[in-house]
Amino acid sequence: MARAHLCDVPGCGRSRKRWQRLCERCFAALPGDIRTGIAASWRAGRKADWRAERRRAGHHLADVLAAPARRPSISPERAYELQQRLLGER
């Protein structure tokens, strides 16, 4: 039976492809310096740096996921008015 490959981000637990270090969701949510730091330190065999980058990724994702989603509250009437302005109908 094939071994399960889990994401390197602590607390994620999602599966990943064998040649990847991160799952799809974490890859999309993390900034590039953290993503490349995890992969580069793993390839170079620097375990202490790899663990530090993993912790950094976990803290970053905890902050991102804990923050409330900021969606602008626009009424349907206001959206319609903005659409008219955009199309030059007004």
Reply yes or no on whether the pLDDT at 65 is more than 80.
no
| Domain count across the chain | 1
Looking at every residue in the chain, the average pLDDT score rounds to 88
* Residue 60 lies inside a defined structural domain of this protein: yes
Diameter of the chain by CA atoms?
Answer: 65
In a domain, 67, yes or no: yes
Residue 9 pLDDT greater than 80, yes or no: yes
Say yes or no to pLDDT of 79 above 80: yes
| In a domain? residue 4 | no
